[in-house]
Structure 1
Amino acid sequence: MRRIPRSDPSPHFLPAETGKPYRFPSAPVKKLGLLLVLLLSWSLLLRAEAASVLLGIDVLERMRFAPLTGKRVGLITNQASVDSAGRPTRLALKHAPGVRLVALFAPEHGISGDIRAGRHVSFHRDPLTGLPVYPLYGDTRRPTAAMLAGLDALVFELQDIGCRSYTYISTMIEAMDAAGEFGIPFFVLDRPNPLGGRRIEGPLVHPPWESFVGRIPVPYVHGMTAGEIARMANQRGWVSHPCTLRVIPMEGWRRDMVWEDTDLPWIRTSPNIPWATSPLYYVVTGFLGDLGADSGVGWTTAPFQYVAGRDLDAFSLAQEINRIGYTGVQALPVGGEHGGAAVRLEISPRTSVNLTALGIYLASRANQASHPSLLRTASANGKEMLCKLYGNSSILTILTRHQSVGAIAAQWHASEQAFAQARRPYLLYGEAQAIPREIHYPRARPVYPRARPVSQEDQ
């Protein structure tokens, strides 16, 4: 715990305002102050306890890993897969009594989360556990028979960001399909959706445009956890070979929670998702890169939080956004890359604006501000990726129109409502999911105490 420096206790300290010697408070005053401090501490403790979320891995630890006892386990994981105390899940399972963790599987960005988007992940040995790491974003994106040989269980625990185009859910779907084909039970250790469980936005994926950035027919922002999507996918035919599925749910998570409500630390999920708010901005500006515009990736400490492009008047665009008057949305003109100008976005996670529609609106403004337009100069691969991200080719027309955010969002309203109804049977969490008081679950001890190197036992 960080120590707070003590002030000078000398009774000869003279306050500048009075010039009179400082006198310590009388005993009754000190008692009253102590009581107030205790009351404040107690109220803060109750508030923290009420807001605490137990992850699926925390619940599994509390169960003494009983569902996996006696099994040879493979784990789909990366650096953000940790329990509430920050202990890597792969260490927790390796040291779990009765559990034999024998193989690790890495998604896009690798097990350390430092490989750039789209780059292949290679087979290697994990320096933390010494176990083999099979890549699920390389020559294959689906576990092979050889990778799964000898496993009694396949466990998925990746921190998703709540947006369809982020590939971790696609990795889960492919792994579920392989588990179903080879008769291996599949476990999901559930984690929060950082965008919350209420936000449903954007179009569905049309079958011709299904890809690894749009593997299943959910809206661009789906408002579900990985465990909930797994349940829905397994029962609605999104998995070719349905598997024997068990989700270890969280406790204490509610649908109205964004990440800052969870009392959990955020760990970078990939190179350009460094902050708990990064998923929010990813939704808004994720279309810009393939269009040929700039979202701040590669030259700022806040990737996806900027809008810049050829011939774009950042000052006018910032004024335009601010005049719309969306609560929780502000735009600031700032310096961009190579001396250019950009718009920096400041967005509250609780804003009611349709983030996906705002993103399409900004992409269309960047496209139309450029001469020639960005779409005219975009590569064939860039246009194809835009269609895959959006879910169909109509985005190529939408980007040429000057539509309001509301008009763009209205196009998806019917499908969003239909999806909200369709997902209901598979939801695991309601609006009030408090942790039962009688449990008194202690947070796991951190594996790496401060100022102590990694021990041989942890390696």
Structure 2
Amino acid sequence: MFKNIFYVVLGLLLTTAGLQAQYHPVVKPGIDVLLERHLDLIQGKRVGLISNPTGITASHESDISALLQEPGVELKALFGPEHGIRGDSPAGAKVGSYKDPETGISVYSLYGKTRKPTSKMLDSLDVLLFDIQDVGVRPYTYIYTMALAMKAAAEKGIPFIVLDRPNPMGGLLVEGPVLDDAFQSFIGLYPIPYVHGMTIGELAALFNKAFGIGAKLTVIKMEGWKRDMIFEDTGLLWVPTSPHVPHRDTPYFLAATGGFGELGTISVGVGTPTPFELVGAPWVSAQKLADALNDAHLPGVYFRPLNFRPYYAYFTEENCGGVQIHILNNRRFLPIRTQITILVTLHKLYPKAGIFKTERLKNFGRAMGTDKIQKEIQEGWTVNQILDEEKPALLKFLSLRKQFLLY
């Protein structure tokens, strides 16, 4: 019996050691660097923190908790983006302001009646911190919450500090249409590509200088991060950035299907256990679509035929034929080429389905940052022709972003 107990204990110790090794970070996020090297920026000051559950240290401690333990740092106010400071609100839901039950600190919503901190909210603050994990795509609200907060800080004359975090898809992948100013919205305020390949700190610097915010900006850089790193290389723990981005690979799927998910004529797996990984509709033949997409020989991806039934969102409780997207190689995968290939293929296979005949077409335009793509698809353009049309704007952006790269 004692021998059995010994082996059980040994197994538990080895499992624990394995887990510790698995999550041993090689990258130190900005919050850790702030606490270790730059506390002088916030000591003796009244601090406001814009964060959510993704704001954790390399040792998995909440940034709220970490800051509260620092002597001389007065955490005075919390600001929550879409989904709230605790991440418990669904996509698009308006969030109110309240007292945080765990800390007693005032929590102001930046996704409710106001999306920009008011002057009154900032009256009692000396500095604003921003610490949120981004996903690396243009149509995602957190980077615009940051931009509007930077504007508010600039108007109030208080410093704004961004605690940098990795781009989960790395810093080399830049792809997709650059936002046309006519399609500005809260999922696209500035002319950047769909997949921008920048960290949130680099975006802050870009927004501040190139787009004229003019805040007193400091970016606390990560330590150990390199541009060719994707999230799995960092050793950091992935915390879901929103309810439908549960895993560290979900940003790739979001980049590949999130845009046309706005149409409402195609399910992208929202309402299933695999959001953004599925593509289908009741009128789709799973095998036919899978064969056509695999025949396109897209890099780093395989399309498996399947049938599924969403529990909510589009086509609730309806049987859908479609595909599951399997990313075989994250570094070769091109999400925007994949997204446009899927749209071109669906339009060719099912011209009478009217995937663009929807009252939500404007939402698709806002997500893509242009209305050209759906027009080009309807006119019979090839995938290469559509992507070639976007190259001049993309090259212009690549030239602009060089001066704001920190790594």
Shared fold by TM > 0.5?
yes
Q: Secondary structure at the match of 2:176?
A: coil
Q: CA deviation at 1:316?
A: 1.4
Please name the residue that 1:355 is paired with.
335
**Runs of 4+ deviating beyond 4 Å:** 4-8, 401-404
**Counterpart code for 1:336:** F
Larger mean Cα displacement after TM superposition, 196-205 or 363-372:
363-372
- Which of 136, 148, 151 is equivalent to 1:174? 148
Q: Comparing 276-285 with 57-66, which one deviates more in the overlay?
A: 57-66
- Cα 1:320–1:101 shift into 2, 3 Å: same
Structure 1 counterpart of 2:234: 262
Confirm or deny: 8 A CA contact 2:286 2:321 kept in the other structure: yes
Aligned positions of 1:330-341 closer than 5 A: 330-337=302-309, 338-341=318-321
1 CA distance for matches of 2:353 and 2:330? Answer: 37
**Mapped contact 2:48–2:75 kept (Cα < 8 A):** yes
The equivalent residue for 1:388 is 366
Secondary structure at 2:322's aligned position in 1? Answer: strand
Distance 1:139 1:320, change over 3 A: same
* Structure 2 unaligned spans of 5+: 9-13, 310-317
Which runs of structure 2 are paired with 1:163-312 in the superposition (5 Å)?
Answer: 163-239=137-213, 242-291=214-263, 292-298=265-271, 300-312=272-284
Counterpart CA distance in 2 for 1:325 and 1:162 is 25
Deviation at 1:363, TM superposition (A): 2.7
Query: Cα 1:313–1:400, aligned 2, differ >3 Å: closer, same or farther?
Result: farther
- Find the aligned partners of 2:53 and 2:238 in 1 and give their Cα distance: 11
Where does residue 56 of structure 1 map in the other structure? 30
Amino acid at match of 1:81: G
| Residue in 2 that maps onto 1:453 | none
Question: Aligned in 2, Cα 1:424/1:263: closer, same or farther, shift over 3 Å?
Answer: same
Shift of residue 183 of structure 1?
Answer: 0.3
Deviations 1:280-326 (A, max 9, x none): 0001010232222100001x222000001242222111112222223
- In 2 relative to 1, CA 403–336 (structure 1 residues): closer, same or farther, beyond 3 Å? farther
Which letter maps to 1:423?
R
2:130 matches 1:152: no
Query: What is the CA–CA distance in structure 1 between the aligned matches of 2:331 and 2:379, rounded to whole Å?
Result: 25
Q: Is the 8 A contact 1:287 1:363 kept in 2?
A: no
- 2:386 aligned with 1:408, yes or no? yes
SS of alignment partner, residue 424 of structure 1: helix
Identity %: 38
Contact in 2 for aligned 1:258/1:349 (Cα 8 Å)? no
Q: Match for residue 451 of structure 1?
A: none
- Looking at structure 2, the residues matched to 282 and 189 of structure 1 have their Cα atoms a distance apart, in angstroms, of 24
Write the distance in 2 (CA, Å) between the matches of 1:186 and 1:276: 28
SS in 2 for 1:214: coil
CA distance in 2, matches of 1:408, 1:128: 51
Amino acid at match of 1:156: F
Please say if residues 218 and 419 of structure 1, whose CA atoms lie closer than 8 Å, have aligned partners that are also in contact: yes
In 1, Cα distance between equivalents of 2:225 and 2:31: 14
The aligned counterpart of 2:292 is 320
Root-mean-square deviation (CA), in Å? 2.2
Structure 1 pair 148–115 and aligned structure 2 pair: CA distance change class (3 A): same
Partner of 1:27: none
Contact 2:30-2:222 at 8 Å conserved across structures = yes
Specify the SS of the correspondent of 2:49.
strand
Query: 1:118-133 maps to which residues of 2 (within 5 A)?
Result: 118-133=92-107
Residue of structure 1 in register with 2:356 after alignment = 375
Deviations 1:194-250 (A, max 9, x none): 0100011111111121111101111111000111111111111342xx110001100
TM-score (norm 1): 0.79
Q: Distance in 2 between matches of 1:189 and 1:232?
A: 15
CA distance in 1, matches of 2:226, 2:386: 29
Look at both structures and tell me which one has the larger radius of gyration over its CA atoms.
1
Report the AA paired with residue 402 of structure 2. R
Higher strand proportion, which one? 2
- One-letter identity of the residue aligned with 1:287: G
Q: Is the CA contact 2:284–2:320 (under 8 Å) kept in the aligned structure 1? A: no
Aligned residues: 385
Alpha-carbon distance, 1:63 to partner:
1.9
SS in structure 1 at match of 2:281: coil
Q: Deviations over 1:241-294 (max 9, x none)?
A: x11000110000010011100001101111100000111000101023222210
Q: Secondary structure at the match of 2:240?
A: coil
Cα deviation, residue 111, structure 1: 1.2
Q: Which runs of 5+ in 1 are unaligned?
A: 9-36, 430-459
Kept after mapping to 2: 8 A contact 1:204/1:391: yes
Q: How far did residue 153 of structure 1 move?
A: 0.2
User: Partners in 2 of 1:100 and 1:180 — Cα distance?
Assistant: 21
Counterpart AA for 1:258: I
Residue 6 and residue 366 in structure 1: after superposition, are their counterparts in 2 closer, same or farther (change >3 A)? farther
Aligned match of 1:424 in 397, 402, 407? 402
Letter in 2 for 1:421: S
For 1:331 and 1:401, the matched residues in 2 are separated by 26
Residue identity in the other structure for 1:414: P
